[in-house]
Every structure is written in C-alpha cells, then in structure tokens.
Structure 1
Amino acid sequence: MIEVRAEGGIHLPQAGIWLDPRTARDFAFVSHAHSDHIARHRRVLLSGPTSRLLGVRLSGERVEEVLPFGAPRDFDRFRATLLPAGHVLGASMLLLEHEEGSLLYTGDFNLRPGIACETAAWAPAETLVMETTFGLPRYRFPPTESVIASFLDFCRETLEEGGVPVVLAYSLGKAQEALRLAADAGMSVMVHGAIHALAQVYAELLPDFPTFERYTAGRVQGKVLICPPSAAESPMVRRIANRRTVSLTGWAMDPQYRFRSRCDLALPLSDHAGYDDLLRLVEQVAPRRVLTVHGFAEEFAADLRARGIEAWALEGRNQLDLPLRITGPSATAPGPTPAHPEHETSPPGPLDGFGTLCEALAATTSRLRKIAHLAAFLENLEPADLRRTVAWVAGNPLPGRAGRRLQTGGALLRRAVAAAARLPEAEVRVATRRLGDTGLAARELLAGRTRPEPWSFAATEELFEALAGARGPVERTDLLGTALA
C-alpha cells in the first residue's frame, strides 16, 4: 500500500506530493480554498473552481495543475483523478493511483446534495485518508430539509416583525448556501464585504446563482444580512438595533453552542459529513486501511476498529504506540462503593469509571495504592481519553492551556444545580451543608428531576473549554445548567 506520513502535514513520499499542507511545499494537492487548507506552494494540483477562489484568497505566483472532475491525468509518479467532495464550490477528493496501490484522500467532504456546490462522488481505494471533524455518534445531523425549513422560518418571521435577520456563516461555502436558500425563497440578501468577493466567483461559475448586494450602512432594513461569525460582535452588526442572529454550523448539535456563540438560534446546517455519512463513505469506498485526520480522528478510528476495520488516527496516538490493553473507556478502577448507590443518576457511561477512580484515590493516603488504582484504570483507555484523564487527575482541566481557569466556584455550581433541578438555590445550599459536598448534593437533587444520559470524556472536555471561554458567570451558569439538565 502507499506510504502515508504525518510530517507537519500529510505527505505521500512515493508519489512526491503533499495533501493540504499548511506550510509552503514544492508540490501540493489543495482540496479547497478554505484558509486552513492553503499556503504559498510552488506547484499545486486543484480543481478549476478552487483555482478561481484561491486567486481571490491568496495572491502570488504558482504553477497550477488544474484538473476537471472525473478526468484522470498522469504525473511523473502517479495518476490523479479529482472527484467532487460536496464541501464548498470546487472542493475535491483526490484519487491517487500508484504502483504501490491506490489512495482516496477526501479533504473536507459532505455527502448530502450540494446547495451551492457540486454533489460528492467517490471511488474504491485500498487506502482511505478521511477527515473526521464530526467523528462522534452524537453528531448525527437531523434531515437537511427540516434544518432549511427552520432557517427560512426564522428569516421570514424576523422580517415580518420588522427585524433584520443576521446570518452567521463561514465566508466561503456556508455563506453562499445561506444566500441561495434565502434568495430562492424570495428574500433580498445583503452580504458582508468578506463574503462579497467569494460570492461573485460563485455567481460567475454557477449560472443560476441568485443576485445579492454588498452591505451598505442604512440599507439593510427588509433584507437578510449574511456575515462571517467573526463579525457577530462588530460595530457594523451591533449598530443594527432590531437584529436577530442565527448561526449555521454543525457545532449547533452541542447544547451549549448557542450560549457560547451568543446567537438567538443555532441550526446544524453543516458542510462537513456527520457521523452516519462518515461510516457510509467507509462502507462505499471499502478500503483495506483507513487513516483519519482532523476533529475526532482518534475516536472515529477506534469506532471503525470495533467494527473490524483497520483504522488509525494519522496524527494521533493510537494504541499501537502504547503498551496497554485497550478494552474500552467504561472499565472501572477498583475502589470503594460510591455514596448513595440507590440513585442511578445516569445509564453507565464512559465517565463512570473515572468517578470511581477519583473516589478510590481520595479514599487512600497510600502512594502505592494510588499508583495501582491509576494503572488499572489507564490501561483500559483509548489514547484520547488517556490524555484527558492524566491531565484531570493532575488537577488541570484544560491541558496545554496554562493560566486558563474554569472559574466555576461553589456559588456558581449551586446556581447551575438549582437551575437544572428547577429548585430554589436555598434548597441546594441546605443539601450541600447536610451532605458536606456540592457533588453529592447535585446527585441527590437531580435524581428523578432530569433525564439521565451517558456523558463522555470528549463532552466533558468541550464543556470545560466552553466554561473557560464564557463571558461572565451568567453564561457559565447557563452552560453548566444545560449540561446537568
């Protein structure tokens, strides 16, 4: 099979080409024109639309090998065929054929029918290198039709009430999808300057692309305004007093996203494949080996291995690198029986064992026993959860983020528990004093008042990140209360 290396990017040394490297290389495949996939390479392999969009986003000279979709071309050491990836206009997968085998590199991709781009296509290959941005089961997106209906209803209702719907969407791809959806529904659309030049390329390349205008102060009333997320708190947007904001992103599947983004509505309209479509692509390509990159790469690779497919995170730590038995994250460490065992606060989940571990560590002063408890627990973890556990047990909820704190003191925790349990905060204080611990009080008060759900290491890490980035105690209380509810 073709050799694949992670060397500050994805490198195919036998073919002499790099795949979407972020630093300048001699010869690179550029799957699409998002800023995190482009650099000043000397020579690039790309699709025609990506070439046009790249010209808008990145100045300078380069040698461009432009391939139409589905037309193979022979290079010095390999044959290349580009296939549409369904991510943004011009986004492409690379089917590379070499004497050592075949490889399909997806870049960012999306299998749902394109709203403002080509619909994805794929081909069988021995090696599949795939992006896994949404590689967890909780990222099973709802039907696109229902999300679009909610988006259009939001825009119509806001306009009917005399407001201005402000749509937060990435400048390339999502913004043009929102533009087409709103315009095709009969609404006038105005776009932020960062979106305008890219939308003009769409209009040139797609004959049926709708009309739009660039944002002009004082003329936005009665129109849908589309802005990049970075403009959400800009003076331009803040001056629109009667605005209502909607964010279009796959991360809207996370309950805390709306609070973190400070928008009125968050809808999971994604230009990446959701979990089910990631599995579907693997099934369709039928590779002998899968290499995952980006997002939840380690977790998705582990899921594939559990299904009997050879799969490894290309840039992560897989269990081949660890002298541990990998038997699943829900294994528990030896320790005392938790307090209040009669309260089944949630179905068994990946964090159950971590809670038991912490109780076992707290119950002994013996250093050797602590080491034994830790060793028994760590050997049962996937690499991503191993990293999190080591950091958390050491008292660092945000590994690699020195100086950042969660800022969730006792008062905030009590308010969050009260909100989740729908009880007066005074009742939480009484329970905390009686039990001597806010956690035990939360366990007692939430039992029977919230819907139990398993909770994962990854979800906990995301919550910690959201809490650390929250703007003030009110937002942190909302985030924590939502997680507990």
Structure 2
Amino acid sequence: MKSPLLQFTNKGIYCKEAKVYLDPWKPVDKAIISHGHADHSRWGHKKYITHHRNVPIISYRLGEINVTGKEWGETFVINNVKFSLHPAGHIIGSSQIRVEHKGEVWVFTGDYKTEDDGISTPYEPVKCHTFITECTFGLPAFKWTPQAEVFEDINNWWAQNRAEGKTSILFGYSLGKAQRLLKYLDTDIGKIYTHGAIENMTEVLRPLVDFPLTTLITKETKKEELLGNIVLAPPSAHGGTWIRKMVPYVTASASGWMTFRGARRRRAIDKGFVLSDHCDWPGLLSSIKETGAEKIISTHGYTDIFSRYLRTLGYDARTEATQYGEEENEAALASKSTSAV
C-alpha cells in the first residue's frame, strides 16, 4: 500500500520523500515552519525554512538558528518534492505549507483565519487533495463579529474607563493578538502602555507594520501616569504584582473564548471581547470547501466533533494527534523581557 505523502510521527508531520518535517515538536534535521507561535516553532532543529516575515520572529524567540526565508508562492524543491508557502492570515508571517509530489497535493494550514486583520497577509485558499486543518473553534457556537465592530467596542470601553478615572488593562497574546489590538486602538483617547513582553515583540515587528507609539511600563512608571490610559499585557501577567500599581483599573481580555461567559469568570476578567486569530465555524467550512479537497485531517481543537460533522457532508475526514494547541508560551515570552515590570 502506498505511503501517504505526509505522515504523523512522534516528532511531527513528516514528508518521507523529502526527509523534511512540518512544524515538528521534537528536534529534527530540517523543519518547515508555518508561523512563530511556540507550539509550531520550537528550538533545536538544525535547519529552519519559513516565510521571510517570520524570520525575525523566530530568530528573536529561538536565538541563533540556521534559518532561510521564502516568498509567498515561491516553489522550492527538496528531493523531487515541491514545497511552497501561502498566506494563512493567522498572524504576521503565518503560512500554509503546500506539498506536491507526483501529482498529489497536500496543504498543511498550521493555524489560520479568514478575516483580514489589516496587519497579516490575508488568507488565500490553496487547491489540494488532502487538507490538514486546525479546528480550535470547530463548533457552530463560534461565529465572529466583524473586527471593526469589536474594535469600536474596545475603544468605547477605554473611553468610558478614562471618563471614570480608571486605567484600562487589556490582555492579549504577546505575538499576534497584541499587535492586532495595538493597530486599532484610538490614540485620541489616551496613551498606550505595554508590558515588556509585548513591547519587545512589537519592536521586532515595527519594521513590518506601522504601529502607534507605545510606552513601556517600568519600575519607575507612576500610577498617576497610567490613569485613564490603556495597558496591553499578556494573559500570564494577570494577577502579578506589577498590576497593583495600576489601581483603580478595569480588566478585559480579547479572545475567541470570550464567546462563553464562563471563560471570563474563570479568568477573573471584568470584560470580554470576542476576537480570535483563528477561523470561526463558518470560516473553517468555507475554507475546506474552497480547497476542493476530499480528504480532511483535523489536528487540534474540537477534532472529533468537527471530523464527524465533515463526514456527514461527504468528506473523508479523520483526526490526528499533535502537540499543537497552546497558542504561545507566555511565561517564556515574559522572561525574554529585559525590563522589570
């Protein structure tokens, strides 16, 4: 029986013909990396290949590595297997990985979203025979409001807090979500302050995107400076000692999980804004349809439920276990910050 073009192994997704892994979770000789989040780009590989916009991200996060950057749609051949990277729309520099050999085409999405966030290269569907997809939000309950409406709500929330003399603290992942929030905050309302992990990552990305001015919070930052302004911080910073200097404050989180009120209560957050860097239910289904693929493999999220539903639609759908899912290691990012907060 013919071996599949891509195999799921204990190290990661493996292309045997090319001796290359896609987003492996254990050290390998050669890895093609979809994007910079820690569950997809890990330390220890001998050779990294990724989109050139992701090069500064993984170089910052992983240190001294042997990395090559590629353009969108640029074909590179390894042992007669054709590879190319295509926009995933998840975060800056995020790619789908197309693999072709002897007329057979597979696409591995990594993580992706169909809504254009204005800072990432927008998602593009890629025709294939087999489509490897995440389904982080693979339930019908997840249907995103257009981001323009969400950002209007966020800025109105900030303006209300300012009128009440309170500091607004907005939590979002340091890579991806924080920059998306930053891009659309209304600086006519006040100043934007940042936790060190977000400030450092944003500085890495400033050559790629025109972001508003930010001010890093340090030990010298006074509570009076923060009143009425907004603070961007990673979720891991919630409950830390640094937050005490910001009283009186109001907290909020921007996440797809804010769809459920229970998630906000569990995280002890005052306000939740539903904003995700992943596909919602309609986005997943439309993306799969646009690929023309007959075989669908779900790797992380609501895999069993989603695959079962796809089978009712006539797809050859199954699941595979991976080590993807944690969007990023916030503790590791916080430790990269050179400034005390």
Maintained 8 Å contact 2:48/2:68: yes
- How far the C-alpha of 1:221 sits from its partner, in A, is 2.7
Mapping of 1:335-414 within 5 angstroms?
none
Show the counterpart of 2:149.
Answer: 146
For 2:187 and 2:20, how far apart are their aligned partners in 1? 41
SS at match of 1:156: helix
Maintained 8 Å contact 2:52/2:68: no
- How far the C-alpha of 1:174 sits from its partner, in A, is 0.3
C-alpha deviations, 1:239-278, integer Å up to 9, x for none? Answer: 2111101100011112201100101111110000111100
Which of residues 283, 297, 302 is equivalent to 2:308?
302
Q: Residues 262 and 12 of structure 1: is their aligned pair in 2 closer, same or farther, counting only changes over 3 Å? A: same
Which of residues 108, 112, 129 is equivalent to 2:111?
108
Supply the AA of the counterpart residue of 2:13. I
- How far the C-alpha of 1:159 sits from its partner, in A, is 1.4
- Greater percentage in strand: 2
Show the counterpart of 1:89.
Answer: 92
SS at match of 1:35: coil
Supply the AA of the counterpart residue of 2:180. E
Supply the AA of the counterpart residue of 1:176. Q
Mapping of 1:230-249 within 5 angstroms?
230-249=236-255
Unpaired runs of 5+ residues, structure 1, are: 317-485
Q: Residues 105 and 242 of structure 1: is their aligned pair in 2 closer, same or farther, counting only changes over 3 Å? A: same
For 2:278 and 2:18, how far apart are their aligned partners in 1? 27
- How far the C-alpha of 1:88 sits from its partner, in A, is 0.8
SS at match of 1:123: coil
For 2:94 and 2:24, how far apart are their aligned partners in 1? 15
Q: Residues 185 and 288 of structure 1: is their aligned pair in 2 closer, same or farther, counting only changes over 3 Å? A: farther
Maintained 8 Å contact 1:292/1:314: yes
- How far the C-alpha of 1:3 sits from its partner, in A, is 2.9
Show the counterpart of 2:330.
Answer: none
Show the counterpart of 1:260.
Answer: 266
Which of residues 4, 7, 11 is equivalent to 1:5?
7
Supply the AA of the counterpart residue of 1:144. Q
C-alpha deviations, 1:69-106, integer Å up to 9, x for none? Answer: 12222222311211111111101111111125111111
For 1:175 and 1:3, how far apart are their aligned partners in 2? 36
For 1:185 and 1:267, how far apart are their aligned partners in 2? 21
Show the counterpart of 1:160.
Answer: 163
Show the counterpart of 1:124.
Answer: 127
Mapping of 1:196-207 within 5 angstroms?
196-206=199-209
Show the counterpart of 2:336.
Answer: none
Mapping of 1:198-217 within 5 angstroms?
198-206=201-209, 208-216=210-218, 217=221
Unpaired runs of 5+ residues, structure 2, are: 323-341
- How far the C-alpha of 1:236 sits from its partner, in A, is 0.8
SS at match of 2:111: coil
Q: Indicate the RMSD between aligned Cα atoms, in angstroms.
A: 1.7
Aligned length: 314
Show the counterpart of 1:53.
Answer: 57
Show the counterpart of 1:41.
Answer: 45
For 1:257 and 1:125, how far apart are their aligned partners in 2? 36
Q: Residues 245 and 66 of structure 1: is their aligned pair in 2 closer, same or farther, counting only changes over 3 Å? A: same
For 2:187 and 2:52, how far apart are their aligned partners in 1? 26
Maintained 8 Å contact 1:31/1:93: yes
Maintained 8 Å contact 1:140/1:275: yes
- Greater percentage in helix: 1
Show the counterpart of 1:222.
Answer: 228
Q: Residues 187 and 87 of structure 1: is their aligned pair in 2 closer, same or farther, counting only changes over 3 Å? A: farther
For 1:96 and 1:122, how far apart are their aligned partners in 2? 14
Q: Residues 186 and 15 of structure 1: is their aligned pair in 2 closer, same or farther, counting only changes over 3 Å? A: farther
SS at match of 1:93: strand
Maintained 8 Å contact 1:203/1:210: no
Supply the AA of the counterpart residue of 1:7. T
Maintained 8 Å contact 1:182/1:224: no
For 2:311 and 2:56, how far apart are their aligned partners in 1? 40
SS at match of 2:150: helix
Maintained 8 Å contact 1:16/1:77: no
C-alpha deviations, 1:367-411, integer Å up to 9, x for none? Answer: xxxxxxxxxxxxxxxxxxxxxxxxxxxxxxxxxxxxxxxxxxxxx
SS at match of 1:134: coil
- How far the C-alpha of 1:2 sits from its partner, in A, is 4.1
Q: Is it true that 1:133 corresponds to 2:136 in the alignment?
A: yes
For 2:188 and 2:22, how far apart are their aligned partners in 1? 38
Which of residues 285, 291, 296 is equivalent to 1:285?
291
For 1:15 and 1:160, how far apart are their aligned partners in 2? 60
C-alpha deviations, 1:143-170, integer Å up to 9, x for none? Answer: 3232222111111111121111100000
Maintained 8 Å contact 2:106/2:128: yes
Show the counterpart of 2:35.
Answer: 32
C-alpha deviations, 1:258-306, integer Å up to 9, x for none? Answer: 1001011111100001111000100100102111111111211111001
* TM-score between both structures, scaled by the size of structure 1: 0.62
For 1:6 and 1:175, how far apart are their aligned partners in 2? 32
Maintained 8 Å contact 1:2/1:101: no
- How far the C-alpha of 1:185 sits from its partner, in A, is 5.9
SS at match of 2:54: helix
Mapping of 1:306-321 within 5 angstroms?
306-315=312-321
Supply the AA of the counterpart residue of 1:227. A
Show the counterpart of 2:335.
Answer: none
- How far the C-alpha of 1:184 sits from its partner, in A, is 5.9
Maintained 8 Å contact 2:159/2:189: no
Supply the AA of the counterpart residue of 1:233. G
Structure with more relative contact order (C-alpha pairs < 8 Å, separation 6 or more): 2
Maintained 8 Å contact 1:45/1:67: yes
* TM-score between both structures, scaled by the size of structure 2: 0.88
For 2:20 and 2:40, how far apart are their aligned partners in 1? 15
